[in-house]
Structure 1
């Protein structure tokens, strides 16, 4: 189809690129996600331009004549990247690629590439909504080239592959992950053939590197409604291939007519509820993993029914394994484990007989992540009984009121001990080791329990006294 409505929406610098292409007899087109987002009127940053022929000399021409900078060449892929300034849009990142066709060996993700036509290039794209092009040459500038009815799929909110889905997914199995990701980001539905192909081919994801899989998975977790993509991964079998610990939570087991809720479906609900309140990626991951140990800690007793004792502690160990297997960065692991370990701690504090020290201890353990913990705990309430939900939320309100009443809230929410380990060593003439750690923990516990104030001098006096008592105890034992 041809549609000139995009002509006036393009950054001015792209007109200049089109004019430069005309002087060199080159056909060039906007392609990929930038075109999709233009048609959907969504913001988009990176711009891909496809050239019929060799893009490298043309990229150098753009750099010289249009003031490009930060030029990077990927010769193996016949691709160049550079940055340009646009009068209205400011700096834009531009990537130039040559039209190509690709073929693959069955057990490899490395494509065999050849110079191709416009149709060759668009047909190798993952989905029809990404197989649209916009001409930049003056005579046809702004016209949309739609060889696979991608615009229709945009209107219908439908995800479909340009070629047979079996071929598209066989060439690059990561596209199955991308199907779940786009569905989750855009709230598009998969067409029947695409979904069936993913169900039939899900095991082929095994030839894709774990890093690429994790990248797509985390994009699903960052989408407005992550459960859309998570459900697709589950229904197609992909989730079992990449995160079997999650699928192990699915299903309801009954004994003596007593069943527990489907933990996986509950978890997906928790993730969505939390996503409504927070865009923090690793808090969302914590929501996904908060009940990860329930399958392995599940027990049934006739007197008490189903229990999951210790699932918070066991869950931290399973989370560490998942972080390794998924090649996730290790820096946020401790944060996620903290959220898993503490997610059942706040609600018991709503009782009238709870002491200030119990509240302080939670504040100390959560530290600066206390607000995130409370956000997760509220999202964890997924009951369909409105009276039960109201009662639990009122209890959370009581907990937060108690936290405020304890005082020192701002201090404890950003906990830093008033005396650190180095100061203890300097004061007592000790070298680093177990004894320093014991003294430091005793000092922190004394502050939490309200035995001494949060004060440097008081803490240091406590340190000296504790050390003296420890020495006296050692002397008594030696007598």
Structure 2
């Protein structure tokens, strides 16, 4: 980003936005021509304009127009490849063309009742009235796609100073933040999302309004809160967005386990508190991602220590312990993600990662037996690659030698996994005898006894590895005799 105090900085940002539009000229010009033929104006608006200034214009394009919804639907139906009108009652019609997602909305002039967040949908008459009602000034800029001699001639509209906010990487509201957040409290959560996605900081007045109005977030449905949290968690700097939610008190209403960590000092006394440690682990986990943002890994990194407040106990000789915090934390994690209405597979995966994150620390250097390796891999299952990243991210000690030793020890574990995997199919560890064989050998009918016998054989397989059939049969019979003797 250019120096905000440089007089050439603002023109440079504007030029960058115009260059982004120019690259899409072949795409935008025919669309603008369709609206102009109906006597309607068309504007590229909001996030795409901001992102073009930041050099990150994507494939989702938002437009606003003077045209009413029926006209938009007719135009996009002819121009687009596939069109959706599920939002037409709110003035929005969507389409896709050449891989670009396009959403066009009639100018809005909504009124809010201040109780729910559902507006009385009212269509506006001009671009300025539409822009001033948007969430943040940096999202309240538009580029008019006007035509001169049938050629695209873009012009810039910025009635509330959004360009200056982008230049200063600031989040501020077009109206007083109290008015904006009372209209739609979700905007407070959206502020934290933009902090994560864009690296912007909220203005002082926005911060104060968020802190004073934090309870208003309870007016928002859980589904919409979850959707914003997802976007925040998948941003470039989620720890900064979460920090804003905690500092303003909003997290107390939607993720209370997180601010609760501020009360605890971790057992190594290396971090100000477990809260800061958790944000550090989240940051380090994102640095280990290989194929883009991983929502489940990030949630596990954030929540891995939330069981510590409930398990805190004084340690003889000073300090504190948090025995079995991973067990308690896994239960708390599942409960919170259920409350946020996450899908079952996300709840289970994140909970299991939290449950397993301390398993590695139960073994000293060089003490990974074949049995321990099998159990580690089997318990992690498909989550093993994520567990590797989570455990490595959790090594946050400031003691350089200790950090290197922990990483070497985990290197050794991964080497042991690879060595054993070369000999055995660790991803599919099964008892040497299946249920039908167990019933035949012991003369059993289907029932609980078969399940107990199968579990014994599974434990035997984990402990001793694959056995010859004769030995497996002998061990099963011996166990059965002792169990029923």
Same fold, TM-score > 0.5, yes or no:
yes
- 1:249 and 2:257 correspond: no
**Which of residues 31, 51, 55 is equivalent to 2:45?**
31
Q: 1:350 to 1:299 in 2, by over 3 A?
A: closer
Q: Does the residue aligned with 1:332 lie in a helix, a strand or coil?
A: helix
Aligned to 1:72: 85
- 1:122 and 2:94 correspond: no
- 1:151 and 2:159 correspond: no
Give me the whole-angstrom Cα distance separating, in 2, the residues matched to 1:152 and 1:38.
15
The 10-residue stretch of structure 1 (7-16 or 226-235) with the greater mean CA deviation from structure 2? 7-16
**Which of residues 430, 449, 452 is equivalent to 1:417?**
430
Q: 1:437 to 1:197 in 2, by over 3 A?
A: same
**Which of residues 439, 461, 467 is equivalent to 1:447?**
461
Displacement of 1:156 in angstroms is 1.4
Give me the whole-angstrom Cα distance separating, in 2, the residues matched to 1:102 and 1:71.
22
Residues 438 and 454 in structure 2, CA contact (< 8 A), matched pair in contact too: no
Q: 1:374 to 1:74 in 2, by over 3 A?
A: closer
Q: 1:238 to 1:24 in 2, by over 3 A?
A: same
CA offsets per residue over residues 83-134 of structure 1, 9 Å max, x none?
A: 22xxxxx232222211011111121111012221211211111111111111
Displacement of 1:438 in angstroms is 1.9
Residues 347 and 396 in structure 1, CA contact (< 8 A), matched pair in contact too: no
> Matches of residues 89-104 of structure 1 in structure 2 within 5 Å?
90-104=98-112
> Matches of residues 281-430 of structure 1 in structure 2 within 5 Å?
281-303=295-317, 305-408=319-422, 411-412=425-426, 414-417=427-430, 423-424=436-437
Q: Does the residue aligned with 1:400 lie in a helix, a strand or coil?
A: helix
Displacement of 1:415 in angstroms is 2.7
TM-score, normalised to structure 2, is 0.87
> Matches of residues 131-146 of structure 1 in structure 2 within 5 Å?
131-139=140-148, 141-146=153-158
Aligned to 2:65: 51
Aligned to 1:275: 286
Q: 1:32 to 1:451 in 2, by over 3 A?
A: closer
Unaligned 5+ residue runs, structure 2? 1-10
Residues 79 and 95 in structure 1, CA contact (< 8 A), matched pair in contact too: yes
CA offsets per residue over residues 30-73 of structure 1, 9 Å max, x none?
A: 11212222222214122222111413223313322x35423434
Displacement of 1:149 in angstroms is 1.2
Give me the whole-angstrom Cα distance separating, in 2, the residues matched to 1:340 and 1:417.
25
Residues 55 and 78 in structure 1, CA contact (< 8 A), matched pair in contact too: yes
Residues 368 and 415 in structure 1, CA contact (< 8 A), matched pair in contact too: no
- 1:235 and 2:247 correspond: yes
Residues 48 and 61 in structure 2, CA contact (< 8 A), matched pair in contact too: yes
Q: 1:62 to 1:326 in 2, by over 3 A?
A: closer
Give me the whole-angstrom Cα distance separating, in 1, the residues matched to 2:56 and 2:76.
27
The 10-residue stretch of structure 1 (336-345 or 157-166) with the greater mean CA deviation from structure 2? 336-345
Aligned to 2:181: 169
Residues 349 and 359 in structure 1, CA contact (< 8 A), matched pair in contact too: no
**Number of matched pairs:** 462
Q: Does the residue aligned with 1:134 lie in a helix, a strand or coil?
A: strand
Displacement of 1:430 in angstroms is 5.6
Give me the whole-angstrom Cα distance separating, in 2, the residues matched to 1:316 and 1:409.
33
Q: Provide the aligned C-alpha RMSD in A.
A: 2.7
Q: 1:351 to 1:5 in 2, by over 3 A?
A: closer
Residues 7 and 143 in structure 1, CA contact (< 8 A), matched pair in contact too: no
TM-score, normalised to structure 1, is 0.88
Aligned to 2:113: 105
